[in-house]
Chain A
Amino acid sequence: MTLLLQAVADGLQMGLLYALVAVGLTIIWGLMEMINFAHGEFMMLGMFGAWGLSVLLGWDPLITMVPVAVIMYGAGVLVYRLLMQRVQRGEVFTQIFATVGLFFFIQNGAVAVFTSDYRFVGKSLLTGLSGTNLTLGGVRVGVPLLVGGLIALAIFLALYLLIDRTDFGLALQATSEDRDAAMLVGIRPQRMYAVAWGLGTALVAVAGVILANFFAVYPQAGLSFTVMAYAIVALGGFGSILGTLLAALLVGVVQSVTAAYLPPAFKDAFVFGSYILIGLFRPQGLFGRF
């Protein structure tokens, strides 16, 4: 029984980290419906940002979150204005195509600048805490991951409030639902999209900064997290921030419990299988609005 409880606890912890990676995608794709193949690459840039600043200036990744967020926000807006804005005029598939180009560009740019070596953030608050556990009712909870998870929760809450409770957030939602109607009430869609891209990129880069505490940093690092992120956003349902959070937790638990009892190589497959299963009964995801 403790095996199961521990697996669930581990799964929830990982789920919060996945949620952190998925939250940026929720804005760009879940809300604004723009497919971003290069989502993982922005995360990877965030990881390198954390590593770089840690090595050059000795900054702890928790501090690095701020400058990385600001810079990557600008990068996201730039990507929208220079590329995605033009691409919106054409076929939807061209968006994917454009972001595939972005994917090659960014990943190999990182290879060119950093080489494909593995890098590790050596000293930081969270790595210093590694190995410290809280034991609640016979279940071990690692402190560093817990801290990471709490940060993820805080970000989610902030985002939820932003999207659902502020005028700005409502304007974003309005633009995604009906661009023309939004224009009629004085919202500028281009500005909304640009901000969405900026926010989404900044958020996933911040996720990368946090993850750099726990994982190896290298140019190909984006992939393993981001496939999960897509599944999570779709599972949670498009347009729902809380849906993404809950889906992420579900995914973490399914993955963890599968690995505890079935061949571990299939743990991701079960997550995706669950997506299909749930999709059969709820075609718009858990809480999707459209």
Chain B
Amino acid sequence: MAALAALLYPIPFEQSGYIYYETVGFLVLLNAMLGIGWNIIGGWAGQFDFGPNIFFATGAYTAALLSIHFGWNAWAGLLGAVVVSVAICAAVTYPITRLRGHYFAIATVAMWMIAQPIGATWELINGSRGLFIPVAPGKNLVHGMLTMEFPGRGKGLGFYYLALFLFVLTLLGARAVERSKWGFYFRAVHDDQDGAEGIGIDSRLYKVIARCLMAAVFAAGGVLYGFWALAVFPDQVLEVNWNILPMMAAVVGGLGRLWGPVLGAIILIPISQLMTATLGAGPLAGRGIDLIIYGAVIMLIAGGRPNGLLSLPWARWAGRLVGRAPAGPAKG
């Protein structure tokens, strides 16, 4: 049912011309997808990764370069971006898997900090001046899905469906991993790393695998972003919100739960958009009131439900609402 709702979501907006809401949907899907990716290393493997945006950046830049210099199609670029990002991830992550807990966290931040001046000064990617993907006129929706080029006003609709497609792919992939041996190993490393080592699980290898799965997701997200914005700037793709939002979505929804980031994204993004439009505008504009409230809301959610919103007794509530006894604790 949710699938149907998700598929039909943009249609009324297309009819009424309120394309903006389709873009909000796009952002929700993109961040939910990134959140699911982050959940693999953060939620399942339990490693503090605070620098996933470096793979967002490598993904965006790789695809942009391939498109600009070699004229590659966007999907070919996406493939290239994922390959490059996973390779980089494997290379840089293996050494730091020696570190545990907060030390590992700072190592991921360190990578992010190292990526920044590289992004800002490397001439190959035009440094701070950014890479611009040429604006292509685009033809129709189908052609657009194959090339990520949409005509004028079709962008909102087109990118929504692109994001939906990638999101579903990520969700299915994550679900498959969750139920596989890898999923089991990740959780083992999280729960008791030494114990896991004791029964022969190479914790370092699986931390790398978990992180690289996340890197693949973030790379794909970066490619999507690049073609959506048609410009890749280092300070934009390495921006802190590409770290914070997916993480927060996962934590708000419930860390480690497959659908957690989805719920988190659905809640966080529309709230912040709504507040920007109302509190951040008009006579109060420029005072950051919307962000103050946003911060307060986050603190309330964190303080009120430290285990995430999916840990709320949804089943009981819905049961009371519909007037029948619940079938048991909510699954998922």
Contacts and interface: CB of A to CB of B under 8 A. Distances in A.
Q: Is A in direct contact with B (CB under 8 Å) within the complex?
A: yes
A234 B299 contact: no
A112 interface: yes
Interface stretch (A15-23, A52-60, A103-111, A166-174): A103-111
Interface stretch (B8-16, B104-112, B212-220): B104-112
A142 interface: no
Contact of A269 (B114, B248, B304): B114
Interface string B80-118: 000000000000000110111011011101110110111
A100 B240 CA distance: 11
B306 A108 contact: no
Contacts of A103: 295
Contacts of B95: 276, 280
Interface stretch (B60-68, B141-149, B194-202, B284-292): B284-292
B133 interface: no
A250 interface: no
Given A112-B287, A231-B110, A234-B103, A276 B251 contact: no
A227 B113 contact: yes
A283 B99 contact: yes
A265 B117 contact: yes
A152 B298 CA distance: 34
Contacts of A112: 287-289, 292
B288 A269 contact: no
Nearest to A274: B110
Interface SS majority for chain B: helix
Contacts of B302: 83, 86-87, 90, 94-95, 97-98, 101
B296 A101 contact: yes
A contacts with B: majority SS: helix
Contacts of B118: 269
B295 A263 contact: no
A97 B247 contact: yes
Contacts of A95: 302
A105 B299 CA distance: 9
B252 interface: yes
B308 A275 contact: no
Interface string A264-277: 01101100110110
Nearest to B305: A90
Interface residues of B, number: 50
Contacts of A107: 288, 291
Given A83-B303, A112-B289, A268-B117, A276 B96 contact: yes
A102 interface: yes
Contact of A93 (B98, B116, B247, B301): B247
A100 B298 contact: yes
A283 B247 CA distance: 25
B191 to A, nearest CB: 14
A268 B121 CA distance: 14
Contacts of B288: 107-109, 111-112
Interface in A163-219: none
A276 B304 CA distance: 36
Nearest to B240: A223
A265 B306 CA distance: 40
A29 B48 CA distance: 14
A279 B109 contact: no
B113 A91 contact: no
A230 B294 CA distance: 25
B307 interface: yes
B271 interface: no
Nearest to B288: A108
Nearest to A92: B48
B110 A272 contact: yes
B42 interface: yes
A101 B297 contact: yes
B71 to A, nearest CB: 31
B166 interface: no
5 contacts: A94-B306, A101-B299, A104-B298, A268-B113, A272-B111
Given A86-B306, A90-B305, A269-B118, 11 more contacts: A93-B251, A93-B255, A96-B247, A100-B248, A101-B295, A104-B295, A105-B295, A107-B288, A108-B291, A112-B287, A272-B111
